[in-house]
Amino acid sequence: MAYIMHLHVATAGFIAATAIAAAGLAWYGVRDGLWWAWITAVISPVMGLAVALPLHWMGHFNYDWVSHLGPIYVGTIIYVVGALVALIGLSQTALATASAGR
C-alpha cells in the first residue's frame, strides 16, 4: 500500500508540474509570440497523455471511466481549446508581422 500511495503522489506531482510549466510557457512565451513556447507547452501534456491513457483502455483496470478519467478528459478538452485559441493568435501575429515587413 505504501508503494501505491507513493506512486499516486509522485504522479500527481508530475501532473501538477507539467500544468505549471505549460501555464508558464503560455503566459510568458506564447504571449510574446514565441513559437517554441507554444510547441513545448503542447508537446509536454500530450506526451503525458500518450503514455498514461492507452493503458487504461487495455483491460488492465476495472474503474468506472467517468469517475476515473472523466476529469482528465474535461481538462484535455479545455486544454485543446486553449491551445487552438493560442495557435490562432500566434498565426495572426505571424501573418501581421509578415505583411508589415513587405
Tens of pLDDT, residue by residue over 14-53, are: 888 988 999 999 899 999 999 999 999 999 989 988 888 8
Question: For the chain, what are the domain ranges?
Answer: 2-96
pLDDT at 88 over 90: yes
The whole-number pLDDT of residue 80 equals 93
pLDDT at 69 over 90: no
59: left (phi over 0), alpha (psi -120 to 50) or beta: left
pLDDT at 86 over 90: yes
The whole-number pLDDT of residue 102 equals 65
Distance from C-alpha of 40 to C-alpha of 17, rounded to nearest angstrom: 14
Residue 100 or 88, more confident: 88
